[in-house]
Amino acid sequence: MTIEQPIQLTYLGKSTPAPGSPDEAVLDRVPNAHPDSPYLVRFSAPEFTTLCAVTSQPDFAHFVIDYVPGAWLIESKALKFYLGSFRNQSAFHEQCTVTIGKRLVSNYEPQFLRISGYWYARGGMPIDVFWQFGTLPDNVWLPDPGIPTYRARG
């Protein structure tokens, strides 16, 4: 694939301050060099943090984001900054997980995207949230997220 104009990226290769909120975060994208060959890309974010919408205590999650790109790829530093921008935001687990999934779909227009949010237990109950967009192409393998279900201490 030939790129005629240089891509302007917000974060990559630059020292830039992290965005203060998800609305301020820029989700850079780069052209997919193989849009004719469906394939799966996985991002794992094991240290996601946001604030509880009720208590303002920190909530932690391990996100697994699987997507089949269309014309665009997710630029990883922009994704890290976007996810990090939730650190001082209040949201319920479901709201946070689905909001992230919808924003990624809106910006990158993938053929398929699945976000799995494995939230760590607080108050004795973990909450796992899954959101999916599109249909996985027949010839693309979607591996198990690899995150064991919550087992407590035994």
Higher pLDDT, 88 or 2: 88
Q: Clarify whether 28 is annotated catalytic.
A: no
pLDDT score of 151: 65
Identify the active-site residue in 23, 28, 36, 59: 59
Instruction: Read off the tokens for 101.
Output: 């999934």
Q: Clarify whether 59 is annotated catalytic.
A: yes
pTM (2 decimals)? 0.90
Identify the active-site residue in 52, 96, 138, 144: 52
Q: What is the pLDDT of residues 22-51, one digit of tens each?
A: 999 999 999 999 999 999 999 999 999 999
Sole residue written with tokens 């924003």: 103
CA–CA gap between residue 31 and residue 69 (Å, rounded): 10
Q: Select from 3.30.1130.10, 3.30.420.240, 3.60.110.10, 3.40.50.150 the CATH code of 29-134.
A: 3.30.1130.10
Q: What is the pLDDT of residues 48-62, one digit of tens each?
A: 999 999 999 999 999
- b/e map 56-75, b = 16+ CB within 10 Å: eeebebbbbbbbbbeebbbb
Q: How many CA atoms lie within 13 A of 88 on its CB side?
A: 8
